[in-house]
Amino acid sequence: MTIKRSDIKALIITGDGINCEVETAAAFREQGINAEIIHISDLISHPHRLNAAHILALPGGFSFGDEIGSGQILALKIKYSFEAELKKFINDKKLVIGICNGFQALVRLGLLPKPFEAREMTLTHNDQGHFINQWVDLNVTPSLCAWTTDLEGMVISLPIRHGEGKIVFKGDELTQEKTYQNLYENGQIALSYTENVNGSYQNIAGVCDPTGRIFGLMPHPEAAISQWLYPSGKDKKDQKGFGEKIFSSAIKYCESNF
């Protein structure tokens, strides 16, 4: 028996500086699941609440003011407060998504591109040296990612709004290219910009872990779940937006695996 959609639960973290939790929860609720917004302090106090969830979401924003690096303090709070519970969550084959600031936190936490291994990737300041707020086109690369199965092979449009979205790899030029090729061949490059938006290595916009269950991306799918959210007024329709399919892909994974 597969799990009923109404029994699927997502936990969406909020806290100082996070500002996209409401939209992210709404995107999950549009899929007919139970989405709960939880403050990071409450999750630190009650880490067992992870056990009842199937999805953990780290939304966008500027957690703790990005004072020592985007997502760094959030990552440290998670690591030193409930890392053991998070490892169990991941080992139970549950889903994790980090959007923008949440992606930065997942990388600094060491969950991407390979969970709990030595870090070989980070996100740094855009080539432009300033914050970017615009809609971009993205290639949805064939990959292992459980979050993009409903979009695979498509070119989609999503908004970005970040100052530190440039993906870089550790090491010299040859080492960086080898790291990229390994990720690509492993099916871990899930999204790439159609053009150079921020200087990100090979235009990478989103990556998953080797299982496809942990996904980090700089664009904001929760801000594109409906055509009404797209910039062109004349094209507004009642149809779903591309972002909706990222959430629907995840729910279908849950229905098939729990």
Closest by CA to 246, choosing from 53, 66, 72, 23, is: 23
| Contact between 125 and 166 (Cβ < 8 Å) | yes
In three-state form (DSSP H/G/I as H, E/B as E, the rest C), the secondary structure along the chain is: CCCCHHHCEEEEEECCCECCHHHHHHHHHCCCCEEEEEEHHHHHHCHHHHHHCCEEEECCECHHHHCCCCCHHHHHHHHHHHHHHHHHHHHCCCEEEEECHHHHHHHHHCCCCCCCCCCCEEEECCCCCCCEEEEEEEEECCCCCCCCCCCCCCEEEEEEEECCCEEEECCCHHHHHHHHHHHHHCCCEEEEECCCCCCCHHHEEEEECCCCCEEEECCCHHHCCEHHHCCCHHHCCCCECHHHHHHHHHHHHHHHHC
Residue 222 annotated as catalytic: yes
Given the residues 145, 220, 244, 254, select the one marked as catalytic.
220
- CA atoms of 141 and 131, how far apart (whole Å): 26
Given the residues 21, 23, 164, 222, select the one marked as catalytic.
222
Given the residues 100, 145, 208, 254, select the one marked as catalytic.
100
Residue 83 annotated as catalytic: no
Residue 255 annotated as catalytic: no
- CA atoms of 129 and 141, how far apart (whole Å): 28
Which active-site residues does the annotation give? 100, 220, 222
